[in-house]
Amino acid sequence: MKIIFEDKLIDDNGVKYMNRGPDIDWGLITLQPGQEKPPHYHEKMGETFYITEGTMTFVLKDKEFNAPKGTAIRLEAFETHGLKNKTDSQAKLLFIKERYLPKDKVNCD
């Protein structure tokens, strides 16, 4: 058994990894008002998000939509996605990548 405490994790620019490999990659993303994560995609894995606090704005290709607390989003490989917090309060989500492939990220500039 492994017990993980969020407040003990290293914060990597709003990302806290709860587990990295060998089979799954998952963690939390916290965005403060005005913060964002730039668009990117994964070539070999899908990703699932679940909003746990506030409202996140998802950027999917050229469309944006707001996802309030309690919303789940599932993306397949090659689906470009980014995140924004356009609100006045903190927003947080849980992400789950279906495999642990740390180099499977293509940034979209």
Q: Name the residue range of residue 84's domain.
A: 6-107
Q: Is 91 a member of any domain?
A: yes
The one-letter code for the residue type at 10 is: I
Domain count, the chain: 1
CATH of the domain at 50: 2.60.120.10
Q: Is residue 49 included in any domain, yes or no?
A: yes
Look at 13-27, 50-64, 73-87 and tell me which has the smallest mean pLDDT.
13-27
Region of poorest pLDDT, from 9-18, 22-31, 55-64, 73-82: 9-18
Q: pTM to 2 decimals?
A: 0.89
- Listed ranges 12-16, 41-45, 88-92; the one with the highest mean pLDDT: 88-92
Question: What mean pLDDT, rounded, does the chain reach?
Answer: 93
Residue 1 lies in a domain: no
